[in-house]
Amino acid sequence: MLNQKKKIVAAGLIIAGVLLVLLLIRFFSAERIGPGSVAPPEASGYPHAAVAEAIERTVTESFGAVGTIIPRTQAHIEAQVVAQVTTVLVQVGETVDKGQTLVRLEDDRLSAQLSQARQSLQMASSQSEQARQTVNAAEAAFAEAESAYNRVKRFYDAQAATQEALEQAKSQFLQARAGSQRAREGLAGAEAGMRQAREMVQEAQIALRYTEIKAPQAGKILSRMVDPGDMAMPGKPLLLLSTEGGMQLEAHVRESLFTRVRIGDQRQVRLRALDTPVEAVIDEIVPFIDPVTRTFLVKADLPDVQGIHPGMYGKLLIPYAEASVVLIPRAAVQQVGQLELVTVQSDGRWQRRHIKTGDVYDDHIEVLSGLSGGEVVLLKESAENGR
């Protein structure tokens, strides 16, 4: 009898344990997230739900050619002379006007060269003046000797002068003529020396002006590669200036799409910094295929849009095929960490479902997995308000 009571008690305990386990399983299964979904809220949690339908549509698929935003026109500011930098007058991001001084270089050596060139010019000018006076004197002596020679020759022809007098007059005439020629050659040399000295002065003046580096055009300073104390020289960039000409995207397009890109085409550009794509116009195509990447370079002019800066990442969308895709409003996608979720209506209840998205088409986004089309999804604003 006692054993029978023990068996009844044991059976009761087992039954109670089983019931407890079932109760716990039911309790926790209501909150457990299954594969591809999260804890489903009740439909009553969204009394004023804004919904949309996952639609299947044929769209044009595009290849996103990765690129970088650069200024349409930019200038590398370099020095024209070798000198040490004394002052940098601008900072990165600063807007400058045409002709504004950007960098000053040390000018002591070039000032000394200009002073020496001016002294050489003054000396050459003095020598040229002396040579000119010598020419005047030589030409006067030559004219006098020529007149004397002609007079003696007439006397000689009239047998009024001796052969010796004629020869002496001729000798003086020839010497005067040679002296005049030498004087003119000396003057030509002095004038050439003066021209050379004048050019040296001009070169020294230009070199001295180069110690003040000015902006060739109005624009914005994009990069500064120099500081006071650095040595500036031709070929070494000091600043990078973006001139006022807008922005463009430099993108590398794969070789197979070469025939699908033409100058003047309007193509969408997707920028990470902006929510919506922008329309760009292809301005330049470099007809060279990189043998390593099998891509070619395309430049597309961007519209004047706020928030676009050089160096930003972007994609040039090149259409290449038609495909059937499932689309939902972008407002239906909820981002939870690395997960993309949508709230789907199923059997009168709302269920959160994990999806994977693809390309963006205006205000809709492609669903690669998780939806097959025809599902009713909750818009994100309604889901947030129903919490």
In-domain check, residue 224: yes
Rounded Cα distance between 194 and 188, Å, is: 10
Buried b (16+ CB within 10 A) or exposed e, 122-145: eebbebbeebbebbeebbebbeeb
**142 shares a domain with 100:** no
Integer Cα distance of 137 and 3 in angstroms: 158
**260 with 350, same domain?**
yes
User: How confident is the model at residue 31, as a pLDDT?
Assistant: 39
The answer on 176 and 128 residing in a single domain is yes
The total number of structural domains in the chain stands at: 3
Signed CA dihedral, 19, 21, 22, 27: sign only: positive
The answer as to whether 18 is a domain residue is: no
Q: Are residues 230 and 278 in the same domain?
A: no
CA distance 270 to 277: 4
Same domain (yes/no): 117, 194: yes
Query: In which domain, by residue range, is 194 found?
Result: 108-200
What is the CATH classification number for the domain harbouring 367? 2.40.30.170
Give the per-residue pLDDT at 27: 42
Identify whether residues 317 and 171 lie together within a single domain. no
Specify the pLDDT at position 289: 92
Is residue 20 in some structural domain?
no
345 and 282 belong to one structural domain: yes
Angstrom distances, CA of residue 156 to CA of 143, 145, 147, 162, 171: 20, 16, 14, 6, 15
Domain co-membership, 277 together with 357: yes
Domain-embedded: residue 26: no
Q: Do 220 and 345 belong together in one domain?
A: no
Residue 82 and residue 133 in one domain? no
Q: Is residue 333 part of a domain?
A: yes
- Is 376 part of a structural domain of the chain? yes
* Per-residue tens of pLDDT for the chain, all 387 residues: 545 556 665 666 667 665 665 554 454 444 343 333 344 444 445 555 688 888 888 877 788 899 998 887 778 889 888 888 999 999 988 888 888 999 999 888 888 888 888 888 888 888 888 888 888 888 888 888 888 888 888 887 888 888 888 888 888 888 888 888 888 888 888 888 888 888 888 888 888 888 889 988 888 888 899 999 999 899 889 998 887 667 889 999 999 999 889 999 999 888 877 777 888 999 899 989 999 999 999 999 988 888 788 888 899 998 888 888 899 998 889 888 888 999 998 887 888 899 999 887 778 888 998 888 888 988 875 555 544
Q: Are strands 278-285 and 247-254 parallel, antiparallel or unpaired?
A: unpaired
State the residue for tokens 């002006």: 209
Can you give the pLDDT at residue 12?
65
Phi first, then psi, for residue 295 (nearest 5°) are -130, 165
Output the pLDDT for position 11: 63
Q: Please check whether residue 191 lies inside any domain of the structure.
A: yes
CATH number of the domain within which 78 lies: 2.40.50.100
CA 7, chain centre distance (Å): 88
229 within some domain = yes
Strands 339-346 and 376-378: antiparallel
